[in-house]
Amino acid sequence: MAIATRSKERARRSVPTSLIPGSSRNAFWLYLLPGLALLTLIIVVPLLWNVYLTFTSYRGIRPPEFIGLDNWVELFGDTTFWTSFRNSVAMIIAMVVVPTVVGLVLAAMLFDLIGRKFGGRMASFLRATYYLPQILPGVIAAIVIGWILRPENGALNQVLAAVGLGGLQGNWLGSPDTALPSIMVIMVWVQLGYPVVIFMAALQRVDPELYEAAELDGANWFQRFRAITVSIIRPEIFVVTLTRAIAALKVFGPVYALTGGGPGTSTIVPAYYAYSEFFQSQQVGYGATIATALTAVIAVVSIIFVLVQTRLERSEEAR
C-alpha cells in the first residue's frame, strides 16, 4: 500500500499544482500583492538606495557625490570592520550555538523528565521563568544589567565581596578583557528562553508512546533524545537557528546601550559600526557600505540555510 501511495505522490508532484485541486498556481499571486507591495516600499527601495550610496560620498546635507568604489576599497582595508565581524562570531556563539544546544536539552528535560515525573505545572512554571528575559524590552534590560555590572556598588561586585571573592571584582563592561565576554553572557541570558518555548511547543507533536516504546527497548535518555526528539522537531531547530543567526549578525541594541562598541573597539559589531558612521561621524556613504556588506553576508547565510532546509524537506517527503 505504501508503495502505491508513494508513486502516486510522486506523479502528483511532478506536475506542479497548488494544494487545492482545480486551482491554478498563478491565481494565488493576488494574495501576495499586499505583502509584496509593502515590502517593496519599506524594504526594497531603501535597500537599493543604500547600495547606491555605497558609491558616493555623502554627509547627509549636500547631495551625494559619486566616488566609485572608494568606499569598498576602504572597507576591505579597515581593521575596525574586520574586528566587528570577529565579534559577530562571538555573538553567534552567544546567541545561536549556546542557546540552541542548551535550549534543546532544557526543553527535552522539561518535557520528557520534569513534565512526566513532577507534573506539567512545574514544567510550564520553569519554562515561563526561562522566557522572562525575552519579554524585557532590550533597552530596559541594558539599563538594569549596566547597573548590576557597574564597578562601584554594582550588585555583582557586591555579591562577590559578600561571598569572599572580592579579588574577582572588576569593571565588567569597562575593561577590554571582560567587556565582550560580559555581553556574551548577557545575550545567552536573553536568548535562552526563546528556543525552550519553541522546542517545547514542537515536542507536543511527539507521541508519548514513542518514548515508552523506546524506553521498553532499553534506550537511555540520550538515545531517545537524539533519535526521537531531535528528529521530530528538526523544522523548529531550523527556524530557531536561522532567525537567531540573523539576529546575532545584526545585533545592535545591547551594544548601543551597554558599551557603545568600546572600550576601544573591543565590543564593536557591524551594525553598531554602521550606525556610528551614519549618525556620529556623518559619513553616510561609508555607513551605507558597512550596512550593505553586512546585509550581503546575512543574505548569503540565509540563502544557504533555506536551500539546505528545502532540500532536506524534499528528501524527507520523498522517503
Partner 1 sequence: MAITDTPAGSTAREALKEPPRKRPRGGRARKTAGDWLILGIAVLIGLLIAVPFLLILANSFKSPTDYATGGPLSLPSSLYFDGITAFWERVDFPQKLWNSFFISSVVAVLAVGISMFNAFALGIGRVRGRTWLVLLILLANMLPQEVLLYPLYFMFRAVGLYDNVWAVIIIFTVIQSAFGTYLLASVYGTFPKELLEAASLDGANRWQILWRVVFPISRPTLSVLLIFFFIWTWNEFLIPLTFLVGNDNQTVPVAITVLQGDRLMDVTTTSASALLGLLPTLIFFLIFQRTLTRGITAGAVK
Site for partner 1 in 122-151 (CB under 8 A): 122, 124, 126, 128-141, 143-145, 147-148
d(C-alpha 87, C-alpha 229), whole Å: 32
Question: For 295-316, b where at least 16 C-beta lie within 10 A, e where not — what string?
Answer: beebeeeeeeeeeebeeeeeee
Residue span binding partner 1 (CB under 8 A) among the ranges 68-76, 78-86, 172-180, 286-294: 286-294
Q: Which is nearer to partner 1, 65 or 207 (CB)?
A: 207
d(C-alpha 235, C-alpha 212), whole Å: 23
**188-207: contacts with partner 1 (CB under 8 A):** 189, 192-193, 197-198, 200-202, 204-207
The residue with cell 554602521 is: 274
The yes or no reply on residue 115 touching partner 1 (CB under 8 A) is no
Residue span binding partner 1 (CB under 8 A) among the ranges 21-29, 68-76, 93-101, 259-267: 21-29
Q: How far is the CB of 268 from partner 1 (least distance, A)?
A: 14
Q: Which residue from 150, 142, 141 is spatially nearest to 171, judged by alpha carbons?
A: 150
Say which residues have a Cβ less than 8 Å from residue 142's Cβ, sequence separation at least 6. 253, 254, 257, 258
Q: Which is nearer to partner 1, 11 or 30 (CB)?
A: 30
Q: How far is the CB of 136 from partner 1 (least distance, A)?
A: 5
Q: Contact 139/212 with Cβ under 8 angstroms? A: no
Q: Which is nearer to partner 1, 20 or 176 (CB)?
A: 20
**211-270: contacts with partner 1 (CB under 8 A):** 213, 228, 231-232, 235-236, 239, 243, 246, 250, 252-253, 256-257, 270
Say which residues have a Cβ less than 8 Å from residue 138's Cβ, sequence separation at least 6. 190, 253, 254, 257
**75-104: contacts with partner 1 (CB under 8 A):** none
